[in-house]
Structure 1
């Protein structure tokens, strides 16, 4: 019984340094710098910037491995005022995810005044009492110090008005890599003590097919985002290594369908004489080859899935 005091605290820490591990998610309106920050932290392009609404539980966007900690960045779809069944389902997923992660990082760009979108998100965050929240002021490289100071004060005020406190407010420029590591330094102490949850070397646990679909969707949306914001879904039907290829010259055949809601949208995606679809194919193929590290033959088809966003059966089929 009395032998407890023989072990000094110093000997304790030497025996077992604490390791922390847990989940964090970055939230913020589109273009708030969430993906850039994720990529800078993980040190590799894993976050895909299109806002494809995910309803799978916790898509892992990237993992920051440190000797004493593991920070797992999970995706949450954007929170928005729902107009459709999909929208409502997504908002439920968002709230559940926020309540389940260990830390929430709210990204607010330094170069834009706080808008209704930010306030809408902040108000929702205020309702999630237990989870610590960090305000991350992104894109600081785009503003002078006076503008930055004003933004920091505004963000501080915002939480006071809503009756909660930020665990930290941190300015960051992911482009210059300034303070990106600081973001990890500030999040890690808020994580629970835990052994690593993923093996070293894992950057993302998203199946390759999903990431490939994501890259195609991103390329398809480029330049037509305003006309077709959410009405594109991409399904990779199959990814098969081409037979009869020499080992040093592999080729991966990828067959994918781009689904739109209405026939009238077909022309927008395909473009005059198929020019746009060709560009989409070329652009996404480059990214896919970089991701998979192998040459790819990409076979893209545009199909109409009528009003898929409102139809639970279609949603399921398209992986939502």
Structure 2
């Protein structure tokens, strides 16, 4: 075979690191072309590693959307930080995503400290550039340039899709030749049960306020596909820490829970390509974020990371 006929295939794992709310999940969903990571304006939305797979003729890029780096306040927070930091050792490339509007602060400084000694190439991805003046962008780039030697600095708008293709082109330059790890039509390594519970949690996050979002988990109780029926039965339980939070989730005459179910069902039907009967329950588990047994029951297993 001639050199011209030899096709180089590249593959690699890319970790998306950053503070809460900088747009990591929005970026991942845009790259993959569908929702696999839930999005919210509330901090700490992403709790597990969410892997998104992008396959083309010449490459397969596996993106890992990590929990936002923050100071832990409970065992769940410890778990989330362990997940995020451990990915630095596992990947071929790191995308350090920052919010162009916020500038350099203590949170960014903490993350840069974690990069010390890391030999993996690190891109600085400056998100939300559509919200600032171009002159301000130059100041942001300069402030980070003085702090760390990045392999590449790329300004983007994940929401608008600006410059996403450039990020992908640069990633392909850096990742090694390698095999295709996943089938070409697979977009995530998470089972559909996980994604369904995340979609339910996303709707609850969007509709509730104050202390509820951080105290909320969703557990799948049943996913049933009866034969010869174009209807999937999904039963899930929303876990909260206090009776007052249960009241907020259920709402007056059950209106809040019905709205959560209505919005979640639409996304689940799009995901599964079928009609869905969604049944939601609410349960109080006091201080579950600080109990290792319950964290494991709800899918937060630190021994896997």
**TM > 0.5:** yes
2:303 — aligned with what? none
Aligned counterpart, 1:177? 161
Per the TM alignment, residue 133 of structure 1 is displaced from its structure 2 partner at its CA by: 0.7
Deviation of 1:319 after TM superposition, in Å, equals: 1.4
Distance 1:278 1:128, change over 3 A: farther
Q: Aligned partners of 1:155, 1:30: CA distance in 2, in Å? A: 18
Displacement, 1:12?
Answer: 6.0
**Number of residues of Structure 1 aligned to a counterpart in Structure 2:** 296
For 1:230, what is the secondary structure of its paired residue?
Answer: helix
C-alpha displacement of 1:74: 1.4
Give, in whole Å, the separation in 1 of the partners of 2:258 and 2:97: 35
Does 2:264 align with 1:270?
Answer: no
CA contact (8 A) 1:241 1:251 kept: yes
Note closer, same or farther for the CA distance 1:128–1:88 as it changes in structure 2 (3 Å cut).
farther
Query: Does residue 149 in structure 1 map to residue 138 in structure 2?
Result: yes
SS in structure 2 of the partner of residue 205 of structure 1: coil
Q: How does 1:1-320 map to 2 (within 5 A)?
A: 13-49=3-39, 51-54=45-48, 58-60=49-51, 62-124=52-114, 126-159=115-148, 165-242=149-226, 245=229, 250-320=230-300
Flag structure 2 segments of 5+ consecutive residues without an equivalent.
Answer: 301-305
C-alpha deviation, 1:235, in angstroms = 0.6
Give the SS at the match of 2:177.
coil
> Residues 79 and 109 from structure 1, CA distance in 2 versus in 1: closer, same or farther, beyond 3 angstroms?
closer
TM-score by length of 2: 0.90
Determine the C-alpha separation between the residues in 2 that align with 1:141 and 1:203. Answer: 28
The answer as to whether partners of 1:26 and 1:104 remain within 8 angstroms in 2 is: yes
CA 211–19 in structure 1, closer or farther in 2 if over 3 Å, else same: same
Q: CA–CA distance in 1 between the matches of 2:193 and 2:31?
A: 23
Residue-by-residue CA offset, 1:171-191 (whole Å, 9 max, x unaligned): 112333231111011112221
CA contact (8 A) 1:52 1:230 kept: no
Q: Which has the larger radius of gyration?
A: 1
The answer on whether the counterparts of 2:20 and 2:70 sit within 8 Å (CA) in structure 1 is no
TM-score when normalising by structure 1: 0.86
Does the 8 Å contact 1:214/1:234 carry over to 2?
yes
The 2-side partners of 1:105 and 1:213 are apart by 27
Distance 1:31-1:92 versus aligned 2 partners, 3 A rule: closer
Instruction: String of CA shifts for 1:130-152, please: whole Å, max 9, x gaps.
Output: 12110001111222211111111
**How far off is 1:225 after superposition?**
4.5
CA displacement, residues 211-234 of structure 1 (integer Å, 9 cap, x when unaligned)? 000000111112435322421110
Q: Deviations over 1:266-286 (max 9, x none)?
A: 112112222111111111111
- Structure 1, unaligned stretches of length 5 or more? 1-10, 160-164
> CA 1:128–1:201 in 2, change beyond 3 Å: closer, same or farther?
farther
Distance (Å, rounded) in 1 between the aligned partners of 2:117 and 2:216: 31
